[in-house]
Amino acid sequence: MPLRTYKSIAPTLGERCYVDESSVIAGDVILDDDASIWPLVAARGDVNHIRIGKRSNVQDGTVLHVTRKSAQNPNGFPLIIGEDVTVGHKCMLHGCELGNRILVGMGAIIMDGVIVEDDVFIGAGTLVPPNKQLESGYLYVGNPMQKKRPLKESEIAFLKQSAVNYVLLKDEYLTQEDSSN
Protein backbone atom coordinates (compact mmCIF):
# COMPACT_ATOMS: atom_id res chain seq x y z
CA MET A 1 0.00 0.00 0.00
CA PRO A 2 1.66 3.27 -1.07
CA LEU A 3 -0.21 5.52 1.40
CA ARG A 4 0.92 5.17 5.01
CA THR A 5 -0.25 6.87 8.18
CA TYR A 6 2.35 8.34 10.53
CA LYS A 7 1.34 9.45 14.05
CA SER A 8 -2.35 9.33 13.04
CA ILE A 9 -1.79 11.60 10.01
CA ALA A 10 -2.55 10.06 6.63
CA PRO A 11 -1.68 11.42 3.18
CA THR A 12 -4.52 13.28 1.44
CA LEU A 13 -5.19 13.12 -2.28
CA GLY A 14 -7.17 15.63 -4.31
CA GLU A 15 -9.31 14.64 -7.26
CA ARG A 16 -7.91 12.53 -10.11
CA CYS A 17 -4.49 11.96 -8.51
CA TYR A 18 -2.31 9.05 -9.49
CA VAL A 19 0.06 7.36 -7.03
CA ASP A 20 1.97 4.36 -8.34
CA GLU A 21 1.64 1.31 -6.13
CA SER A 22 5.43 0.95 -5.83
CA SER A 23 5.77 4.38 -4.20
CA VAL A 24 5.61 5.17 -0.48
CA ILE A 25 3.76 8.31 0.63
CA ALA A 26 3.77 8.65 4.43
CA GLY A 27 2.37 11.11 6.94
CA ASP A 28 1.47 14.74 6.38
CA VAL A 29 1.51 14.79 2.58
CA ILE A 30 -1.18 16.51 0.51
CA LEU A 31 -1.47 16.10 -3.25
CA ASP A 32 -3.73 18.61 -4.97
CA ASP A 33 -5.95 17.77 -7.96
CA ASP A 34 -4.38 16.00 -10.95
CA ALA A 35 -1.00 15.52 -9.24
CA SER A 36 0.91 12.33 -10.03
CA ILE A 37 3.50 10.26 -8.19
CA TRP A 38 5.37 7.76 -10.37
CA PRO A 39 7.14 4.44 -9.55
CA LEU A 40 9.50 4.19 -6.59
CA VAL A 41 8.97 7.71 -5.24
CA ALA A 42 9.46 8.04 -1.46
CA ALA A 43 7.71 11.00 0.19
CA ARG A 44 7.94 11.20 3.99
CA GLY A 45 5.92 13.89 5.70
CA ASP A 46 6.91 12.65 9.12
CA VAL A 47 8.75 15.49 10.89
CA ASN A 48 7.19 18.28 8.81
CA HIS A 49 4.71 18.52 5.91
CA ILE A 50 4.83 18.06 2.15
CA ARG A 51 2.45 19.83 -0.25
CA ILE A 52 2.27 19.07 -3.97
CA GLY A 53 0.27 21.45 -6.16
CA LYS A 54 -2.22 20.93 -8.95
CA ARG A 55 -1.01 19.14 -12.07
CA SER A 56 2.47 18.61 -10.65
CA ASN A 57 4.28 15.33 -11.22
CA VAL A 58 7.08 13.61 -9.34
CA GLN A 59 8.88 11.04 -11.45
CA ASP A 60 10.46 7.67 -10.81
CA GLY A 61 12.95 7.20 -7.99
CA THR A 62 12.64 10.68 -6.50
CA VAL A 63 13.00 11.24 -2.74
CA LEU A 64 10.93 13.94 -1.02
CA HIS A 65 11.66 14.78 2.62
CA VAL A 66 11.56 17.60 5.15
CA THR A 67 13.44 19.04 8.12
CA ARG A 68 12.02 18.96 11.61
CA LYS A 69 11.14 21.99 13.69
CA SER A 70 13.71 22.94 16.33
CA ALA A 71 14.62 25.74 18.73
CA GLN A 72 17.05 27.08 16.11
CA ASN A 73 14.53 26.72 13.27
CA PRO A 74 10.98 26.90 14.74
CA ASN A 75 9.25 26.14 11.43
CA GLY A 76 11.76 23.58 10.24
CA PHE A 77 11.72 23.20 6.49
CA PRO A 78 8.58 21.74 4.95
CA LEU A 79 8.61 20.73 1.29
CA ILE A 80 6.32 22.79 -0.93
CA ILE A 81 5.90 22.05 -4.64
CA GLY A 82 3.72 24.52 -6.54
CA GLU A 83 1.43 23.97 -9.52
CA ASP A 84 2.47 22.63 -12.93
CA VAL A 85 5.86 21.44 -11.67
CA THR A 86 7.72 18.55 -13.28
CA VAL A 87 10.24 16.81 -11.02
CA GLY A 88 12.41 14.57 -13.16
CA HIS A 89 13.59 11.04 -12.45
CA LYS A 90 15.75 10.32 -9.41
CA CYS A 91 15.76 13.80 -7.86
CA MET A 92 16.14 14.65 -4.19
CA LEU A 93 14.08 17.53 -2.80
CA HIS A 94 14.66 18.25 0.89
CA GLY A 95 12.91 21.00 2.83
CA CYS A 96 12.68 23.42 -0.09
CA GLU A 97 9.97 25.49 -1.74
CA LEU A 98 9.27 25.36 -5.47
CA GLY A 99 6.96 27.88 -7.11
CA ASN A 100 4.84 27.23 -10.21
CA ARG A 101 5.84 26.04 -13.68
CA ILE A 102 9.23 24.62 -12.81
CA LEU A 103 11.15 21.76 -14.38
CA VAL A 104 13.64 19.97 -12.13
CA GLY A 105 15.98 17.94 -14.32
CA MET A 106 16.84 14.32 -13.68
CA GLY A 107 19.10 13.68 -10.71
CA ALA A 108 18.96 17.23 -9.36
CA ILE A 109 19.33 17.82 -5.62
CA ILE A 110 17.63 20.79 -3.96
CA MET A 111 18.50 21.34 -0.30
CA ASP A 112 16.92 22.87 2.83
CA GLY A 113 15.71 26.43 2.75
CA VAL A 114 15.97 26.84 -1.02
CA ILE A 115 13.25 28.95 -2.65
CA VAL A 116 12.68 28.54 -6.37
CA GLU A 117 10.54 31.26 -7.91
CA ASP A 118 8.05 30.60 -10.77
CA ASP A 119 9.12 29.70 -14.32
CA VAL A 120 12.52 28.11 -13.70
CA PHE A 121 14.48 25.29 -15.36
CA ILE A 122 16.91 23.39 -13.12
CA GLY A 123 19.24 21.29 -15.26
CA ALA A 124 19.85 17.57 -14.84
CA GLY A 125 22.35 16.77 -12.09
CA THR A 126 22.26 20.28 -10.61
CA LEU A 127 23.01 20.70 -6.90
CA VAL A 128 21.24 23.65 -5.28
CA PRO A 129 22.94 24.29 -1.89
CA PRO A 130 20.94 25.27 1.22
CA ASN A 131 19.18 28.64 1.53
CA LYS A 132 19.62 29.78 -2.09
CA GLN A 133 16.94 31.68 -4.00
CA LEU A 134 16.51 30.95 -7.71
CA GLU A 135 15.09 33.89 -9.66
CA SER A 136 12.12 33.52 -11.99
CA GLY A 137 12.79 33.12 -15.70
CA TYR A 138 16.24 31.51 -15.64
CA LEU A 139 18.05 28.25 -16.34
CA TYR A 140 20.23 27.00 -13.48
CA VAL A 141 22.87 24.27 -13.94
CA GLY A 142 25.93 22.82 -12.27
CA ASN A 143 27.34 21.56 -8.99
CA PRO A 144 27.00 23.88 -7.20
CA MET A 145 24.30 25.54 -9.29
CA GLN A 146 24.92 28.67 -11.29
CA LYS A 147 22.48 30.99 -13.05
CA LYS A 148 23.23 30.13 -16.68
CA ARG A 149 20.92 32.33 -18.81
CA PRO A 150 17.40 33.72 -19.19
CA LEU A 151 14.80 31.26 -20.46
CA LYS A 152 13.53 31.59 -24.02
CA GLU A 153 9.79 32.09 -24.57
CA SER A 154 9.57 28.56 -26.01
CA GLU A 155 11.15 27.14 -22.84
CA ILE A 156 8.73 29.03 -20.61
CA ALA A 157 5.83 27.63 -22.67
CA PHE A 158 7.31 24.13 -22.33
CA LEU A 159 7.20 24.34 -18.53
CA LYS A 160 3.38 24.34 -18.62
CA GLN A 161 3.25 21.81 -21.47
CA SER A 162 5.41 19.35 -19.54
CA ALA A 163 2.89 19.36 -16.71
CA VAL A 164 0.00 18.96 -19.18
CA ASN A 165 1.78 15.97 -20.75
CA TYR A 166 1.99 14.25 -17.37
CA VAL A 167 -1.67 14.99 -16.57
CA LEU A 168 -2.59 13.22 -19.83
CA LEU A 169 -0.31 10.29 -19.01
CA LYS A 170 -1.64 9.85 -15.47
CA ASP A 171 -5.20 9.97 -16.88
CA GLU A 172 -4.28 7.06 -19.16
CA TYR A 173 -2.95 5.13 -16.15
CA LEU A 174 -6.10 5.89 -14.14
CA THR A 175 -8.31 4.77 -17.06
CA GLN A 176 -6.30 1.57 -17.33
CA GLU A 177 -6.72 0.89 -13.60
CA ASP A 178 -10.48 1.56 -13.79
CA SER A 179 -10.91 -0.83 -16.70
CA SER A 180 -9.02 -3.64 -14.93
CA ASN A 181 -11.25 -3.46 -11.82
Which architecture does CATH list for 3-180?
3 Solenoid (2.160)
Report which residue type is found at 162. Answer: S
68-102 pLDDT tens trace: 999 999 999 999 999 999 999 999 999 999 999 99
Sequence-separated (6 or more) residues with CB below 8 Å from residue 150: 137, 138, 139
Stated pTM of the model: 0.96
28-66 pLDDT tens trace: 999 999 999 999 999 999 999 999 999 999 999 999 999
Strand pairing report for 63-65 and 127-128:
unpaired
